Structure 1
Amino acid sequence: MNNDLPERRDERGMSQADLAAAVGVSRQTINAIERDRYDPSLELAFDLAAEFGCRIEEIFDPESE
């Protein structure tokens, strides 16, 4: 599932570690999501969307695969 987390982080000047701390996961989890190696749980997807003030569908594109 493609996502635009790296772009959103860059726009805010956040590192993977910053984002991970903000949503309560490890930096490795954020890295795996960004590299399409791990699909987040629904709860984590909601947390990420809340962090960026948007809807889940604006971050993740399930149609892309």
Structure 2
Amino acid sequence: MPKSLIFIGLRVKSQRNFLGISQEELAERTSLDRTYISLLERGKRNPSLLTLIKVAQGLETSVSTLTKDIEEIGFTSE
């Protein structure tokens, strides 16, 4: 799994936990499936920009907050 996907997944999970909402609640807010949210949080999905925007809105944050400092971990495909 690319480090960048794991990084984004951890940010999504962290913000969701901060808000005190479940994966189900986030799925409802974003019109995505709960299993997709789970896979995203584990770095097993590569969200499109439009999906990342939906997730950020559902988490009451911005895409830039979810991806902040991502350059520091690199963009390797491993």
CA drift of 1:42 comes to: 1.3
What runs of 5+ residues in structure 2 fail to find an aligned partner? none
**Which is worse superposed, 9-18 or 50-59?**
50-59
Give the structure 2 partner of residue 21 of structure 1: 28
TM-score by length of 2: 0.70
Give the structure 1 partner of residue 42 of structure 2: 35
CA contact (8 A) 2:27 2:37 kept: yes
- Cα distance in 1, alignment partners of residues 58 and 25 from structure 2: 11
More strand by share: 1
1:1-65 mapped onto 2 (5 Å cutoff): 1=5, 2-3=7-8, 4-60=11-67, 62-63=70-71, 64=73, 65=75
What runs of 5+ residues in structure 1 fail to find an aligned partner? none
* Identical-residue share of aligned pairs (%): 23
The alignment's C-alpha RMSD in Å is 1.6
Equivalenced residues, count: 65
**Which is worse superposed, 39-48 or 18-27?**
39-48
| Shift in CA distance, 7/50, structure 1 to aligned 2, threshold 3 Å | same
